Each structure stands twice: as C-alpha cells, then as structure tokens.
Chain A
Amino acid sequence: MASTQILVVDDDAVTARFIASLLREHGYDVLIAEDGVHALELVDRHELAMIVCDLVMPYRDGYSVLRAIRQNPKFHDLPVLLLSMRDREEDIVKGLEEGADDYVIKPFNARELLARIRKILNRKRKVS
C-alpha cells in the first residue's frame, strides 16, 4: 500500500490538502499539483497509480489534462477521477466520455471519495 502514489490536482490548496490528508491517513503516497501544467509534469516524472483531478483550473483544465493523458500511449490507462463543483449532467457525461474513470461532485463526501478511489485502484490491480 505504501508505494501506491496518487496525484491530487486542484488549484484550491485547501481542498488539495484535505484530500491529501485523507489519502495519507489511509496509507497512500500523495503528490499535489496546483494546475494542469504542473500535473502533466508530475505524471511524466512519477510512477503514479491514479490521479484525482479538479475540472476548473488555470492554464489547463481537467478535461485538457485528461485528454493529454489519454492521448499519451505511456499513460493512457492511468486511472483519473474527476472532482468538480460542476454538477450539470452534460459536464459529468463529458468527463466520463473523455475517459475519466469516475466523476465526483464537490462538496464531496470524504469517505465516499475514498471508497471510489479504492475501487478504481482495485480494478486496476485486477486488470494488471
């Protein structure tokens, strides 16, 4: 469990710290990126197990990060969970169609978020 590294991408530092604290509490290694550009740099440099990514961010938004990951053969199967205040049906559908593994609406339920992350990681483990 200790080697499972998760990247949290959110321009809201408070949210990023909350999620990081939640994940660290449950034994995951956590990296934090404050925007999409920084996120893609970290994706390139680290062996990540998954990404928890905000949708609305400066420079590159969550959709753009997701697209860049899915188009790169090296990371195209890296699980991505989108986290956003946008709760409209079309935003959720767009996120999932762009290749997100899950979509969670803010404000989120921390334990539900953790359960969804675990489920994605378990599925990934089974597949690999």
Chain B
Amino acid sequence: MQQILVWIIFSISGVFLTLTVLIVANKAWRETQAAKRARRRRELEPKILTWAHGDEKTVRRALDGHPSSSDRAVIEQILLDHIQRVRGIERERMSRAMEQLGFVDTYLEGLESRRWWRRAKSAEKLGLAASKRVVPSLSRVLDDEMPEVRLRAAKALGQLGGVASARKLVRALNEPNRWSTIRVADILIGMGHKSIDVVIEAFAGLTREGQLAVLDIVGRVRPLSATPWLIERAKDESTDIRARACHALGSIGDPNVSDELIAAMDDDEWPVRAMAAKALGRMRVVKAIPNLARALRDQQWWVRHNAARALRDIGPRGLEALEKLVADGDAFAREQAVLMLEEAGHVDERAGELAQEGSAARKSAKLFFESIVATGATGRLRVLSREHPVEEVRRELLALLPEEAAS
C-alpha cells in the first residue's frame, strides 16, 4: 500500500516536473526567437527603409536576394508597421515590396481559408498592403458569413480607396441587418472625396437609412461640388432628408446657398428649421439675422436654441441682435438671448463699460443690464457683482440687482 502511495506521489511529481520543464523551455524558446527577430529587425529595417527612400526598383537587391522564411516574417512586420504611417511615394514603394516578396499572394490565399480569423487577418493585411489588384477579392469577402471578416474587408477596401471600392461599400448601406450603417459610413467618409460621386450616384436606390447616411457622408467630407445636389435634397418631401441636407450645406459652407437656407427657416417642420439655423450660424450669414431673430420665438426649443447660437456665432452684428432680444416680448427668446450673450463673453465685456465715467457707453451698458435683470436671468450678474476686478463695476451691478438676487 505504502509502495503504491509512493509510486503515485512520484508519478504526480514527475508529471508536474515535466510540465514545468516544458513551460520553461517553451518560454525560453519564445524569448530566444523574439530576441532573434528583434536583432534581425534591427539589421533589416534600415535596409528596407533605405530602399523605400531611394529609387531602386527591386527590393530583393536591398535584401541581398531571397530572404529566408524566418526573415520573411520579420520583413512582413517591418513593412506592415511602416506602410500605415506614411503616404505618397514611400507608401507606394513599400506596397510594391509587399507584392514583390509575395506577401499579397499569401494574403489572397488567406481569404480562402476555412478559419474565419485567418480570412479576417488576411483582409486586414490586404488593406494595409495597398495593392489595387485585390479589390475584386476583397469585394467577394464582403459577403462572408462572419461579420468580423466582412468588416475588415470593408475597412480594407476603404484603405485602398478608389471608385471600385466605394461602389462595393455603398451597397452595404442598403443592408442594415448585415452591416452597421455607421461603420460603413465612417469607412466611406475616410475615403474622402473619392467616395462622393459614388454615394451620390447610389442615393436614389438606397433605403431611407442609407440615404440619410449618404447625406451625413457628404456633410462630413464637405465637397463643394455637391452643393447643387444638396440644394435639391433640401427640397425633398421627407423631413429627415431636408434637415440633413441643410446640415450638410452648413458643413460645406458655400456662401452661395445662404438664400436656400434662409428659405428653409420657414419650413413647416421644426427639424428642418433647426438645421437651417445651425447651418446659417456656421456660415455666419449676416443677412439671415432677422430670420434667426424671429426664430428665437419658435415653438420648438431646438429651433430657438440653434437660432440663438447662430446669432452668437455670426459675431458683433449677431450679438447686437441678441441684445435687442433681451427685451423681447417672448420669454423664451429673452432666455436664449441672455444665455448666448453670457456664453459669448458679451455680458462680461459690457460690464467693464459700467466704470466709464459719464460716457454714453456707460448709459447704454446700464440699460442693457437693466433689461437682463428684468428677464430674471441674473446668475452671471451675481457672479460679476462679487468677482469683477473693478470695484465700481461691482458696486453698479449690486445697485442694479434686486436685493434677493444680489444676496
């Protein structure tokens, strides 16, 4: 019995010892390999970069012939690391190196793998390798059964750019059950101006969600050439389309569309009015001041808020309009006007005028602050009455504030 126990203990100890030795050996082997790769990287990287900066056609010459299989892994990592950090000729040359060394072919084979993670990795690397010939293969992978593979293929197509890639991606906007519309839109935005003609061309055939995504893409990429198309969309029968078109027009900022945006301030639907107000503020359209001032009495809070912000953003003339609105008959308009004047620092700025002895500016400032006090929005004035660096200003403000507000 005792012998059996001893035998069991020895066996278990033996197993543990063997496992420990194996783990240590494996770790040591991995660390040795990593150190070897790091050393090779230090030797190979300068050669590859020198080649990338130069004009020698074949990368193999820079690498002294055909690299060994262990060197290939190091070279691949060097190229993948650097290619995503640069643009222009260096990027093209590194892309060519990936072709010449057969990495692109390896990734294309990887797209056919039965393991989804290998397909995903290959798609990702093809995007980095920036070889245009892989667009048809990546497009096929957009129909992969695994969402992760589809997404990486989409990103890769986005990195490759070009009309062919954009056409394949825009199709995905119509399949919200298979694709996240926001992610696809982000990829198309990342492609910049190259995607614009394609998304506009596809617009009519897209679902409503896809169409809204297209308007967001155009608004984010901001191509001046899309302005006439957006003006048409701003007359669409759908409220959402009109609103997003106004938003995109504001982002592009073409001064020639200010009349269309001013007209949109009279739209029956409040989202359109709100977006038109925002756009006019972004574009700082001075002639829209009367329309924006009227919009401060709008039934909808978003329209009032956007119109007030727009007046603030327009600058001195907009602030002048906001000052007048402080004494408006509409309580909401007064509230928004005071809020924006405070945000613009205008209230603080005018407080200084209260110390200008006997001047017209002082008189006008007093009237301005009286009208603010009348609105009841005295929060900032209370702070200034305590903290303004000029004693006279503090005194004047305290005198203007009703007792309960001053305390």
Closest to A112 in B: B88
Contact among B50, B54, B88 for A109, CB-based, below 8 A: B88
> How far is it, in angstroms, between the C-alpha of A18 and the C-alpha of B87 when the chains are bound?
12
Contact B86 A18 (CB under 8 A): yes
The main secondary structure of chain A at its interface with chain B is helix
> How far is it, in angstroms, between the C-alpha of A58 and the C-alpha of B82 when the chains are bound?
22
Contact B89 A111 (CB under 8 A): yes
Asked if B72 lies at the interface with its beta carbon under 8 angstroms from chain A, I say: no
Contact among B45, B84, B90 for A110, CB-based, below 8 A: B90
Chain B contacts for A15, CB-based, 8 A: 85
Contact A21 B86 (CB under 8 A): no
Contact B46 A21 (CB under 8 A): yes
Contact B89 A18 (CB under 8 A): no
Contact among B49, B50, B84, B90 for A111, CB-based, below 8 A: B90
- Considering only residues 93-127 of chain A, those with a C-beta below 8 Å from chain B are 106-112
The answer to whether A14 and B53 touch (CB under 8 A), given A21-B46, A110-B90, is: no
Asked if A90 lies at the interface with its beta carbon under 8 angstroms from chain B, I say: no
B11 to chain A: closest CB distance in Å?
Answer: 49
> How far is it, in angstroms, between the C-alpha of A15 and the C-alpha of B53 when the chains are bound?
14
B13 to chain A: closest CB distance in Å?
Answer: 45
Contact A18 B85 (CB under 8 A): yes
> How far is it, in angstroms, between the C-alpha of A22 and the C-alpha of B45 when the chains are bound?
12
> How far is it, in angstroms, between the C-alpha of A25 and the C-alpha of B53 when the chains are bound?
8
B37 to chain A: closest CB distance in Å?
Answer: 15
B324 to chain A: closest CB distance in Å?
Answer: 31
The answer to whether A110 and B89 touch (CB under 8 A), given A18-B82, A21-B53, A25-B53, is: yes
Asked if B56 lies at the interface with its beta carbon under 8 angstroms from chain A, I say: no
Asked if B81 lies at the interface with its beta carbon under 8 angstroms from chain A, I say: yes
Asked if A17 lies at the interface with its beta carbon under 8 angstroms from chain B, I say: yes
> How far is it, in angstroms, between the C-alpha of A82 and the C-alpha of B180 when the chains are bound?
35
Contact A109 B85 (CB under 8 A): no
> How far is it, in angstroms, between the C-alpha of A111 and the C-alpha of B85 when the chains are bound?
13
Contact among A12, A21, A107, A112 for B50, CB-based, below 8 A: A21
Closest to A106 in B: B85
Closest to B91 in A: A107
The answer to whether A110 and B81 touch (CB under 8 A), given A17-B45, A18-B86, is: no
> How far is it, in angstroms, between the C-alpha of A111 and the C-alpha of B81 when the chains are bound?
19
Interface centre among A15, A21, A107, A110, by most chain B C-beta atoms within 10 angstroms, is A110
Chain B contacts for A18, CB-based, 8 A: 49, 82, 85-86
Contact B89 A25 (CB under 8 A): no
A81 to chain B: closest CB distance in Å?
Answer: 16
Chain B contacts for A21, CB-based, 8 A: 45-46, 49-50, 53
A88 to chain B: closest CB distance in Å?
Answer: 13
> How far is it, in angstroms, between the C-alpha of A31 and the C-alpha of B89 when the chains are bound?
25
Closest to B88 in A: A109
- Considering only residues 47-90 of chain B, those with a C-beta below 8 Å from chain A are 49-50, 53-54, 81-82, 84-90
Contact among A14, A109, A111 for B82, CB-based, below 8 A: A14
> How far is it, in angstroms, between the C-alpha of A12 and the C-alpha of B54 when the chains are bound?
23
Closest to B78 in A: A14
Chain B contacts for A22, CB-based, 8 A: 49, 53
Chain A contacts for B89, CB-based, 8 A: 109-111
Chain B contacts for A110, CB-based, 8 A: 53, 86, 88-90
Chain B contacts for A111, CB-based, 8 A: 88-90
Closest to A13 in B: B81
Contact B87 A108 (CB under 8 A): yes
Contact B85 A107 (CB under 8 A): yes
Chain B contacts for A112, CB-based, 8 A: 88
> How far is it, in angstroms, between the C-alpha of A37 and the C-alpha of B71 when the chains are bound?
36
Contact A107 B46 (CB under 8 A): no
Chain A contacts for B53, CB-based, 8 A: 21-22, 25, 110
The answer to whether A107 and B86 touch (CB under 8 A), given A21-B46, A22-B53, is: yes
14 additional A-B pairs beyond A18-B82, A110-B90, A111-B88, beta carbons within 8 Å, are A14-B81, A14-B85, A17-B45, A17-B49, A18-B49, A21-B46, A21-B50, A106-B85, A107-B91, A108-B86, A109-B87, A110-B89, A111-B89, A112-B88
Residues on A lying within 8 angstroms of B by beta carbon are 12, 14-15, 17-18, 21-22, 25, 106-112
Residues on B lying within 8 angstroms of A by beta carbon are 45-46, 49-50, 53-54, 81-82, 84-91
Counting from the closest, the 7 A-B pairs by CB-CB distance are: A109-B88, A21-B49, A110-B90, A109-B87, A25-B53, A14-B81, A107-B87
